[in-house]
Amino acid sequence: MVHKKILVVDDEKDIVELIAYNLEQEGFTVSRAYDGHAAWEAVKARKPDLVVLDLMLPGIHGFELCKLIRRHGETEKLPVIMLTAKSDQVDKILGLELGADDYITKPFSVRELLARIRAVLRRSEGRREADFPETFTCQGLNIDFQACMVTVDGKKVELSSREYRLLQFFTRNPGRVYSRDQLLNHVWGDETYVEPRTVDVHISRLRAAIEKDKENPKYILTVRGIGYKFADASKQI
């Protein structure tokens, strides 16, 4: 599984460190914020996969921060778990109505929090997967994601599972440049250590399978000094 980034927001540093330590032990990447303003900046800059959010924060109250997250297009689907000493039923209902994915009261069990985080992330992944179209078409390249079938100009192309996953990732993020390390993170995930140059080998094989001229590709493009990208969305038909 690809490492997930968790932002932990609480004005009590001991609680932040307790949560962060346990998350890091489980393989998560953790960012920390101790007030509402710093949390909002971290959400925008670091783009976490989930936020663990206290309510009684200096600067911006947790409820207001949740509203901000839900109002902005780039963050509106960001999973939020509220973790707070406010145990009133009214507060819990308000938090959920504002868009929180879960609501946990202090004192809390770290094991339960970890389980809730995993559950919310699984639901979030399912929602994102459902948002993607079932097919992709670009300049003669066609992908049926339901059947895992790739054709070029009507002819079926046989790909290894890794080549297919690489193509799937590229076509779901057209026009965006990715470094080798980013591609390893997204496509290879937590597998045993793989050399970044392995990406080059798989891209070469993928190009050989889908490009008419792999030396002059029109689908998977090299961005010198940075990495690779799929053809810009404006070129899709």
| Residue-wise pLDDT tens digits, 37-50 | 999 999 998 889 99
Question: What pLDDT, on a 0 to 100 scale, did the predictor assign at position 109?
Answer: 92
pLDDT at 234 over 80: no
pLDDT at 1 over 50: no
Question: What pLDDT, on a 0 to 100 scale, did the predictor assign at position 193?
Answer: 64
pLDDT digits (tens, 9 = 90+) for 73-101: 788 889 999 998 887 888 888 888 888 88
Q: Can you tell me the distance from the alpha carbon of 74 to that of 12, in angstroms, rounded to the nearest whole number?
A: 28
Q: Taking the model in full, what pTM does it have? A: 0.56
Q: Is 69 in a helix, a strand, or coil?
A: helix
At 94, the amino acid letter reads L
Q: Which domains does the chain have, with CATH numbers?
A: 5-131 (3.40.50.2300), 135-235 (1.10.10.10)
Question: What pLDDT, on a 0 to 100 scale, did the predictor assign at position 21?
Answer: 95
Question: What pLDDT, on a 0 to 100 scale, did the predictor assign at position 51?
Answer: 96
User: In percent, how much of the chain has pLDDT > 70?
Assistant: 92
Closest CA to 218 of 161, 141, 156, 158: 141
Question: What pLDDT, on a 0 to 100 scale, did the predictor assign at position 236?
Answer: 47
Cβ contact 173:230 at 8 Å: yes
Residue 134: which pLDDT band, with cuts at 50, 70 and 90?
Answer: confident
Distances (CA, A) of 222 to 58, 93, 116: 46, 50, 40
Closest CA to 210 of 166, 150, 168: 150
